[in-house]
Structure 1
């Protein structure tokens, strides 16, 4: 059942009064184990050694949320059953079910607020239009997380409707969540749409989180907030029960502080789901034994990494600090055994990266209306049932939804679209396929590449239209302290080698540092 429109963080505020006074960051003075910045593997080891339990872990995150969330607005809601679920995990661990110290058992996971949960949490995509809607079942990924013994911590703030209401709304703004702020430099762009998922793990308000990406929405907030984001191959993770934009492009992936955490989360959420047909083909890409086995410190050895200077490394005077940083990163990659294949070119790259030229904008518009209407019609109860209803809601509550400021241009375009039988839609798909085959696929195959290296997330339209995976890893900080990232991307099913490469890079550089909350 959905909860009522109470204050989003209230359910836990009362509990916090009791726990915060006596709670310290260090769980055990004897071992000096600190929860802050601890990885999933370290948390599991602490569970195994009985120096930590899930209740204490959850209390730590609640204390972080209480002290930080009102400033940076990473979470929309905290699960009112959080402490109960933590106690349950502790009891299971004591009883030896499942074996102690494995996977995500007893680990709190934060979900972006467009991922359905059939519990006391709302699923609203940040919009008041969906407040009180009741979902028929857990999203496929939420179901898998629960099966792995993970604890659903709450719902993360996001760019409203995953940034598909209007082209004008700022990154990380939603009516329900307000404006999410970048914890490194509060005035810097936090990027979107999985903004809250990224800043919550960056600030240790959550252990790990899930985001969603249609075009850039995992990779961009990951690099902007100095965390790791994995945009998986299309269909590797289920999109069932996720408020959709496009089944042809939507993906769900981990946003975490480290590559190893992201691999643990990917292991838990990847795989077949009867409610998402794309998972049946993509499941064939999952390696026997999962993804954690690819956390290989010498993972860069022998990997062929492509560099396309134009347009990805055309830095402006304002971003010249990145030129220096990437020269250093290229040296590090070579030093650790990677083979750099430099000065490559991608055919028609400007058309690929321009959503109007590629046909992406046109296709998304047609797909969104159909996908959203389908999602809304499947809800058990909902204030709105169609995209037209959502548009009307926004007009009726225009102050609340900030329509005069940000509008709903993408909604209106989609509502007026003529569907997927339109010849222009078919032409857009054919164009994207041709650009993909003659562009990224050809580049990767002709040069026998394991990955393409790009700075930040300029590569996302190319990955989006082809359903390709990418991993963003912290790569440095601008002179003002704002983070930037390095992105490793590859063909469908390349996750194992991308994890090896990004883990190898992360271990060789260890760039990430906790946020400094600069103004």
Structure 2
């Protein structure tokens, strides 16, 4: 090991000790760290906290921790002004001040457009100083609910479709770090959203998912991620990959917080036609009613044992999941074990990637064309930018192979899409219906492809930590529109286990 490597290792060790010893900041005896949306709401009502104090706390934590974690790309220069506005509305006893996300700061993944002083770049210098035409659909809903847009979270650049690895790297911030074990992967592409809420740089955040981009970072950062049914939340104003698979969802520290955010962002948006169809799944009265501690009772949960490595991750003992299965049974769930998803090799193969590359080229070109101002207008322009500014975009180190493959596509192969839909229908869907399952339960990494290709929802909940202290999660996935059942299951499991703990910042 070189002298530089030794110095860097010592630096990380000292920093980890400093971060783990940090003292929670309080406001009028109210501890902000690890507090939930409900806690904030009660503190507001009892005059123990203001939105300004809450925003100032998070800005301080970002200033202190972000230089090493790199979970935030930029903060909103108007965040304190928004907080002052929220505090004035609370004093005026605005109706919305008593519910929802009013006065609560939220971080947005940097592929979600905001029509303000912040950039929307998908982590790339190619979109720096570009001008979006309007707020993304989900951002409009957040602002209407009184949420404070705190800043933009980092991500795997271009949501992971420029190159394969590393997760959590983008040109604008560099490599994002897992706050539990700094050398471990934070996964991606919503890495910064998960890093930030895990490390208390914010309580709530938004991520996006095409194939595992919410569920995987949640898994590795010991937080809760909800991947909604495709179309349940608007994708308008989000830097796209695939209209079949893209979805926007919350990443938070608790199931209840994630559901609070979900309730705000779901619903129809005229700029995303998929929301018209999916809106039929939204229950009257919203999703908070399904935060039921006894939600496991009577639920039929399927356990898949193919491919053979499911529940046999080398860093996690299979006995850990067997213990969780026992917890599910104790909660009243019926477990249907040793199931096999037909055609699962397709989900883990190259067919789905080929479809995504073709969709990326078409969707991204359309998004870039609509920008009010932009240095790039097509995928070809982005590729040329990366080559011209290779020192900024580290093209020599990481390349842009997926972009080049996408650019080489010549339209969407409808036969490929029909093939994927058929395999999804005859695989996961058929299995769920045959066994009358409410949800499938699996290690997160083993089910994300299946849920992605079918546009199905999933919820990741913290499930433990391996021998090195790296977190892992458990995922509950279901058919389209099954969010109410998944929330009951996930919340009940969370309340029965309460596994999550604050990060330790180990080197």
TM-score, normalized by the shorter chain, greater than 0.5: yes
Residue number in structure 1 paired with 2:184? 188
SS at match of 2:250: strand
Q: Which of 114, 121, 128 lines up with 2:118 in the alignment?
A: 121
Q: Which residue of 324, 327, 330 maps to 1:329?
A: 324
Cα displacement (A) at 1:316: 4.8
Aligned to 2:355: 363
What CA distance in whole angstroms lies between the structure 1 residues aligned with 2:101 and 2:313? 44
Partner of 2:307: 311
Q: Secondary structure at the match of 1:365?
A: helix
* Superposed counterparts of 1:344-363, under 5 Å: 344-354=339-349, 356=350, 359-363=351-355
Does the C-alpha gap of structure 1 residues 207 and 312 become closer, same or farther in structure 2, counting only changes over 3 Å? Answer: farther
- 1:456 Cα deviation (Å)? 2.2
Aligned residues: 485
Q: Deviations over 1:345-402 (max 9, x none)?
A: 1112222222x1xx21121111111100100000000011111100000000011100
TM-score by length of 1: 0.92
SS at match of 2:197: helix
Contact 1:432 1:465 in 2 (8 A): yes
Question: How far did residue 28 of structure 1 move?
Answer: 1.6
Which of 40, 43, 51 pairs up with 2:40? 43
Match of 1:403 among 391, 395, 400: 395
CA contact (8 A) 1:235 1:279 kept: yes
Matching residue of 2:148:
151
The answer for the alignment partner of 1:103 in structure 2 is: 100
Q: How does 1:59-208 map to 2 (within 5 A)?
A: 59-167=56-164, 169-208=165-204
Distance 1:434 1:142 in 2: 34
Q: CA deviation at 1:426?
A: 1.2
How far has the Cα of 1:312 moved from its partner? 6.6
Q: Alpha-carbon deviations, 1:93-138, whole Å to 9, x = none?
A: 1111134330100000100000000000000000000000000000
SS at match of 1:464: helix
Question: For the Cα contact (< 8 Å) 1:117–1:123, is it kept in 2?
Answer: yes
Alpha-carbon spacing, 1:100–1:445, altered in 2? closer, same or farther (3 Å): same
Structure 2 equivalent of residue 25 of structure 1: 25
Whether the aligned pair in 1 keeps the contact of 2:189 and 2:213 (CA below 8 Å) is yes
Alignment pair present for 1:437 and 2:425: yes
CA distance in 2 between counterparts of 1:263 and 1:53 reads 23
Between the aligned partners of 1:439 and 1:109, the Cα distance in structure 2 is: 37
Deviations 1:69-97 (A, max 9, x none): 00110000000001100000000111111
Q: What SS class does the counterpart of residue 152 from structure 1 fall into?
A: strand
Deviation of the 1:62 alpha carbon:
1.0
Of 391, 394, 399, the match for 2:386: 394
1:9 matched residue in structure 2: none
* Cα distance in 2, alignment partners of residues 467 and 99 from structure 1: 32
SS of aligned partner of 1:505: helix
Shift of 1:310: 2.0
Gap runs ≥5 in structure 1? 1-22
Match of 1:264 in 2: 260
1:151-175 per-position Cα deviation (integer Å, ceiling 9, x unaligned): 00000000000001112x3000000
Partners of 1:259 and 1:503 within 8 A in 2:
yes
Root-mean-square deviation (CA), in Å?
A: 1.2
Residue 273 of structure 1 aligns with which residue? 269
Question: In 1, are the aligned partners of 2:311 and 2:442 still within 8 Å (CA)?
Answer: no
Residues 34-90 of structure 1, C-alpha deviations (whole Å, 9 max, x = no match): 111111111111111111110111111111111100011000000000110000000
Q: Distance in 1 between matches of 2:95 and 2:34?
A: 25
Query: Which of residues 319, 337, 346 in structure 2 aligns to 1:342?
Result: 337
Separation of aligned partners in 2, 1:156 and 1:230: 17
Q: TM-score when scaled to structure 2?
A: 0.94
- Structure 2 gaps, min length 5: 1-22
Stretches (4+) displaced over 6 A: none
Distance 1:99 1:212 in 2: 26
Distance 2:279 2:504 in 1: 40
